Amino acid sequence: MKHILMLGDSLVEWGNWEELLPEITVLNRGRAGEFLPELSLRLAEEVAASRGHDVILLQSGTNDILSGNAGFPSIYTTMLPRLRLMEEECPIILCSLAPMPLIPLPRIRAVNKELHQLSAEVENCFFLDLVEPFISQCLPITHPGFLNDQVHFSTRGYQVWAGEIRKQLASIFPAADKN
């Protein structure tokens, strides 16, 4: 069974990961309302306190972009290399922003393009795009990906995210057992 350290904001914190990813042990270190600079500040403490994980997943930036700070990806330019120094061998998954209805899709795509480029600059760092899976698997009326606040994931949104995490883990650990 794989162990994953998940760091981020309310999208991480509010996930029912035991139900969504029963085959994976998730250490949920999400904090509702957190901005990326705050995650960056607690990064070393969180990594040190959670030894034994096989992969680290980062999902942060939602609150930053909602507050008008589209420049938040620049924090990852120092944060990802610091994380790589702390965890030399551990794969890192950097999640994109999801296509929140409150933010124009071209803006989300531009930020995600920057996040993708930053992940490519760090060894053993993988970018997990949530835009296309949400667009193709979440239907506004019958299977919405977001709650009424248009920011937080619905049950369907979490199911799509969990499915994408599974796919990413399978590509990182292709010979892993299927517990």
Residue 108 pLDDT exceeds 90: yes
Residue showing tokens 């914190």: 13
Indicate the pairing of strand 2-8 with strand 92-95: unpaired
CB 133 within 8 A of CB 144: no
**Rounded-to-integer distance, Cα 131 and Cα 39, Å:** 23
- pLDDT given for residue 50 in this prediction: 87
CB 11 within 8 A of CB 30: yes
Domains present along the chain, CATH in parentheses? 2-172 (3.40.50.1110)
Read off the pTM. 0.94
Residue showing tokens 């124009």: 104
How is residue 176 written in tokens? 């892993």
Tally helices (H) and strands (E) across the chain: 8, 5
pLDDT in tens, 20-63: 999 999 999 999 999 999 999 999 999 999 888 999 999 999 99
Burial class from Cβ neighbours inside 10 Å (0-12, 13-18, 19+) for residue 20 reads middle
